[in-house]
Amino acid sequence: MSGGVDSSVAARLLAEKDYDLSAVFMRNWDTRDESGTDVGCQWEKDWEDVQRVCRMVGIPRRMVDLHRQYWTQVFEPSLNSWESGSTPNPDVWCNREVKFGALLQHLAQDSQTLWLATGHYARKDWHGHNITFPPRPRLLRARDLSKDQTYYLSSIPESSLTRALFPLGEMHKKEVRNLALKWDLPTAVKDESMGICFVGEKRKFNDFLSRYIPPNPGPIIDMTNSRQIATHQGLWNYTVGQGAKIRGCRMRMFVAKKDLGTNTVFVVPGSHHPALNVNTIHVSNFDWIWTGSPPVGLQQSSGMTAQVKYRHCMESEGCVVHRDGSGLRLRLDVPQKGIAPGQVATLYLQDWCLGCGVIDETDSKG
């Protein structure tokens, strides 16, 4: 449980069934690591909400401190990616390394038959069954596509997915909120949490990162004339596809690419410049949820028709997937903007989430 309305309703729904149910709260971040004080510590408020809900539902609860695992397995690797100019998504790796990794391993010490239920908007079914091979779990998009969270879950392995339960998968957000109000849960009117968990909603992202990454000045180059028009203080301050605040420019400039080797940010005028378009995505290491069992269509010379997401809040885009050495090459049906190295590319066959990989290269050529 996270202390939010979704996991609270999930717990209440499961409490109505014949489960030996208990709640677990993960503590992933410690503000004392930054400031030496507990002032404004969000995890303590969330833990209080979890306890209030559990008392009402009548289930035991405990907190598991995983902030060290989060720091070494999620935050530090993400920090290295930002410093190098990439655009990582820590929430994807938190699910694999911490929630469905370290936490699941910790809980399995007490029981080998446990199920881990979360408030994620996602579904799971079992595919195939015969005498020789047991059924395998498939991760499916939520019924409420506007809240679907399979993108964040696309990195968890089959072994973890086997033990996962998603009680909200068939529900819409409005239904969940209405149930919370009906049951008078303490979190019924609590706002949704937005943004990366360790940054929060009120802090500016770049200000937060500046605590950990020293300045590294470099040129900002206008791609239309190859002239330097400004100096940046670090590649991590800029995101491909987004606007770059540069004084003295007649038009608003947008980031087309970043070059780690020369520590350069390249920009173009206007949001419709062709240099912002991406036609092809390359992923060196793609993690299939079904390890060792990529889709049959991938073997075809014509490639496999699929859909891809490179951000959580977007509709999936059509693409054709080809093997490229040990990696994958994704040719988009329609050129897209704002695709950057470091982002997670998640593949789908309709509702079926196949897995994900980190984008290491993009190409704007046709």
Residues recognised as catalytic: 94, 197
CA distance 92 to 85: 18
CA distance 63 to 26: 6
Strand pairing of 317-324 and 352-363? unpaired
Phi, psi dihedrals of residue 204, rounded to the nearest 5°: -75, 135
CA distance 195 to 183: 28
Cβ 185 vs Cβ 8: under 8 Å? yes
CA distance 185 to 260: 49
- How many Å from the N-terminal Cα to the C-terminal Cα in the chain? 46
Looking at the DSSP bridge assignments, the partners of residue 304 are 321
CA distance 126 to 157: 15
CA distance 138 to 121: 14
